[in-house]
Amino acid sequence: MKKLLLLSFPSNLTGEPITYTLIKNYDLKINILRASIDYNIEGSLFLQVEGLEEKLDLSIKYLKIKGVKVKVINTAITIDEDKCVNCGACTAICEVGALTMDESWKVTFKKHRCLDCKLCIKACPVRAITSIV
Amino acid sequence: MTVKKSYEEINEKIKSGEAVVVTAEEVIDIVKEKGMKEATKYVDVVTTATFGPMCSTGAFLNFGHSDPPIRMSEIYLNGVSAYGGLAAVDVYIGATEESKEKGMEYGGAHVICDLIDGKKVHLMATARGTDCYPCKEVETYITKDSINEAYLFNPRNCYQNYNAAINTSDKRIYTYMGILQPNKGNITYSTSGQLSPLLNDPLYRTIGIGTRIFLAGTVGYVSWQGTQFNSGGARDERGIPLGGGGTLALIGNLKNMSTEYIRPAVFEKYGTSIFVGVGIPIPIIDEEMMKHVSIEDKDIYTNIIDYSVKRRSKPSLGRVSYEELRRGKITLDGKEIKTAPLSSLQKARKIADELKTWIKKGEFLIQEPVQTFPTNNKLKSLEIVEEEEV
């Protein structure tokens, strides 16, 4: 299974090889979507992780015990349906096929495909898309 | 014998609730099923619609007079400049004008839609002061109900046909056709295609000055040919322009509009624009008209234009039908390229259905054009010349 995790870690953990541990001990495939780490100050990592469900759960427990704040992200963006006019401008720049037009020409968002590039936020002419992370 | 119907006959049927009204999409199957002649007898009105971004939009407002009165020269509505080079309290607010403070994120389009929504709008105006208009400055709040007239005037809408856009450069570009990815990364297009008004009446036989229309949720009218009206350009065998073709100038009462059918738009690093919903009924006066409205996306072609060329004349990479564009990807020179719309077909369908309901209820009659448009109009360009060269 795949999950999007937003990790925030305190200054004492910025020197730890967290990602390595996740791969090595929990056999997770990791795609780093965003990383911002200031050594000895603070850090945040936005990851797409893929692996067995029980290993994913154990890895989250490990992170929490370590003192990492873990937020499981169900979706990186949200579309305000009242604002959306279903023009399709966002689908032009979504490289991963998360935003597409359905058969009735409405925009559909497949959140499991989203890699949080955020380009759709800029592409939306009615500003209906906002970032959650 | 060929089938012919007058506007009077069609309107009588509408009034008695007997008119057969279908959308320009629904009519396609009716013609296939019944044949051209029977379909012409059967269908009275075909509704067309579009909901696309159209920069050439604005509204005339008359605020009423203050005491003491002012002849406004510099005018701001929620910080967006409006043009006041008219009578004392008449202004025109253009959709693409951007606010001093918020830039393109809040422009004339937003002011227009805030007024439609009944919101309070801050008005600030200054003047030189004259004997008859002594006041030099006013600051107040208005709503659409506190002012006299407020009407939308669209100098250009309903482009008959429009380019699809591509970018062959190695940098992402930001355009009114949306964000275009480098190296032919995507193609955008903007039309409701087989549902689009002027693609269903390509020779302007029933759409002309005075045509009654659906404009942003209320009744409006075609007031003139739209700006950049290029009816004299090349056409295919069905009469469909190969390039932009005709356009329409539209007018309607802003006070009765609904933001369900008109919405501000912001094109990143380009500017403010506005989505305007338009629905136009086409009376089926004869078989020729039925032939026009039975057009399908597969019959309508456009050019794929390279927007990375920063010149007036941009090269075309080829022609493509709207049916191909609607598939979501096309193959161009062996490369598969994603295609995406900018004009909402979902909204256009809603408008075509809404207009159909109005006509079926007998509330909306078909107005024969007071005058039809020329079919030989050519587009001119701005040449930079010295005075003596003119």
Among A79, A82, A93, A120, the residue to mutate for chain B (most B Cβ within 10 A): A93
Give kind and range of the element (H or E) at residue B2. none
pLDDT at residue A132, as a whole number:
80
Q: Which amino acid is at A50?
A: E
Q: pLDDT per residue over B187-215, tens digit each? A: 999 999 999 999 999 999 999 999 999 99
Domain check: are A68 and A87 in the same one? Answer: no
Give kind and range of the element (H or E) at residue A28. none
Q: Is the pLDDT of residue A75 over 80?
A: no
Please provide the size of chain A in residues. Answer: 133
Residues of B with CB under 8 A from a CB of A: 51-53, 105, 178-181, 186, 188, 263-268, 273, 275, 328, 338, 340-347, 349
Domain check: are A69 and A34 in the same one? Answer: yes
Domain check: are A11 and A33 in the same one? Answer: yes
Q: Which amino acid is at B137?
A: E
A43, β-bridge pairs: A9, A37
Q: Is the pLDDT of residue A62 over 80?
A: yes
Domain check: are A19 and A67 in the same one? Answer: yes
Closest-approach residue (CA) in chain B for A127? B266
- Residues of A within 8 A of B178 (CB-CB) are 89, 92-93, 123, 125
Q: Which of B181, B266, B344 sits opposite A86 (nearest CB)?
A: B344
Domain check: are A102 and A83 in the same one? Answer: yes
Domain check: are A85 and A64 in the same one? Answer: no
Torsion angles phi and psi, residue B117, rounded to 5: -75, 0
> What whole-number distance in Å separates Cα of residue B325 and Cα of residue B353?
24
Count of structural domains, chain A:
2
Instruction: State the average pLDDT for chain A.
Output: 90
Range of the domain at A49: 2-73
Domain boundary among A73, A107, A123: A73
Min Cα separation B157/chain A (Å): 17
Torsion angles phi and psi, residue B41, rounded to 5: -65, -40
The residue with greater pLDDT, A42 or B150, is: B150
pLDDT at residue A34, as a whole number:
81
Q: Which of A101, A119, A126 sits opposite B265 (nearest CB)?
A: A126
Closest-approach residue (CA) in chain B for A120? B179
pLDDT per residue rounded down to tens, chain B (390 residues): 789 999 999 999 999 999 999 999 999 999 999 999 999 999 999 999 999 999 999 999 999 999 999 999 999 999 999 999 999 999 999 999 999 999 999 999 999 999 999 999 999 999 999 999 999 999 999 999 999 999 999 999 999 999 999 999 999 999 999 999 999 999 999 999 999 999 999 999 999 999 999 999 999 999 999 999 999 999 999 999 999 999 999 999 999 999 999 999 999 999 999 999 999 999 999 999 999 999 999 999 999 999 999 999 999 999 999 999 999 999 999 999 999 999 999 999 999 999 999 999 999 999 999 999 999 999 999 999 999 998
Contact B179 A106 (CB under 8 A): no
Domain boundary among A57, A73, A89: A73
Interface predicted TM-score (ipTM) of this complex, two decimals: 0.94
Q: Which amino acid is at B208?
A: G
CATH code at position A12: 3.30.70.260
- Residues of B within 8 A of A106 (CB-CB) are 346
Q: pLDDT per residue over A99-118, tens digit each? A: 999 999 999 999 888 888 88
Residues 6+ apart with CB under 8 A from A31: A47, A48, A49, A50, A115
Helices A18-26 and A53-66 pack at an angle, to 10 degrees, of 150
pLDDT at residue B50, as a whole number:
98
Contact B51 A85 (CB under 8 A): yes
Min Cα separation A127/chain B (Å): 8
Domain check: are A95 and A40 in the same one? Answer: no
For the entire predicted model, the pTM comes to 0.91
Torsion angles phi and psi, residue B366, rounded to 5: -85, 125
Domain check: are A40 and A102 in the same one? Answer: no
Map out the domains of chain B as residue ranges: 7-54+153-360, 64-147
> What whole-number distance in Å separates Cα of residue B52 and Cα of residue B242?
20
Contact B179 A122 (CB under 8 A): yes
| Residues of B assigned a catalytic role | 132
Give the strand order in the sheet containing A2-9.
A29-38, A42-50, A2-9, A69-73
Domain check: are A91 and A56 in the same one? Answer: no
> What whole-number distance in Å separates Cα of residue B225 and Cα of residue B249?
5
Q: Which of B180, B266, B340 sits opposite A91 (nearest CB)?
A: B340
Instruction: State the average pLDDT for chain B.
Output: 97
Contact A125 B265 (CB under 8 A): yes
Torsion angles phi and psi, residue A9, rounded to 5: -125, 145
How many alpha carbons fall within 13 Å on the CB side of residue B183? 3
Contact B340 A119 (CB under 8 A): no
pLDDT at residue A12, as a whole number:
81
Q: Is the pLDDT of residue A133 over 70?
A: no
Q: Which of A92, A101, A104 sits opposite B178 (nearest CB)?
A: A92
Mean pLDDT of A8-20: 82
